[in-house]
């Protein structure tokens, strides 16, 4: 689906999609088309997000528990 930019008589930017015969299939204003593009999440972005989440979960599992240090014993004071 390739969009070609056009201008309306009012000067607004338009995006047009043409079918195989070259007829207009869909015409949208740039504002509406761009808004929809921003709302949608691509398959690549979804896959990258899943991979990052999986990697983060793996890192949490591998973390070793932190050991507490024993308190230092103090020497008895001489009188």
pLDDT in tens, 23-78: 988 888 888 888 888 888 888 989 999 998 888 887 766 656 667 776 667 777 77
The answer to whether residue 20 sits within a structural domain is yes
The answer to whether residue 48 sits within a structural domain is no
- For 22: left if phi > 0, alpha if psi spans -120 to 50, otherwise beta; the answer is left
The answer to whether residue 71 sits within a structural domain is no
Q: b/e string for 6-34 if b means 16 or more Cβ within 10 A?
A: eeeeeeeebbeeeeeeeeeeeeeebeebe
Distance in angstroms (rounded) separating the CA atoms of residues 34 and 21:
26
User: Mean pLDDT throughout 12-21?
Assistant: 90
Write down the pLDDT at residue 1: 64
The answer to whether residue 55 sits within a structural domain is no
Helices (H) and strands (E) in the chain, counts: 2, 3
Write down the pLDDT at residue 33: 85
The answer to whether residue 1 sits within a structural domain is yes
The answer to whether residue 50 sits within a structural domain is no
For residue 9, what are the domain limits?
1-43
The answer to whether residue 57 sits within a structural domain is no
Question: In the chain, how many domains are there?
Answer: 1
The answer to whether residue 12 sits within a structural domain is yes
pLDDT at 15 over 80: yes
Write down the pLDDT at residue 22: 87
């Amino acid at each position: 689906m390739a969009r070609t930019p056009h201008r309306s008589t009012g000067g607004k930017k338009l995006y047009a999609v043409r079918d195989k015969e070259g007829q207009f299939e869909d015409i949208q204003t740039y504002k509406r088309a761009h808004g929809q593009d921003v709302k949608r999440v691509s398959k690549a972005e979804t896959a990258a997000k899943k991979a990052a989440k999986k990697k983060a979960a793996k890192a949490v599992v591998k973390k070793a528990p932190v050991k507490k240090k024993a308190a230092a014993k103090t020497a008895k004071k001489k009188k």
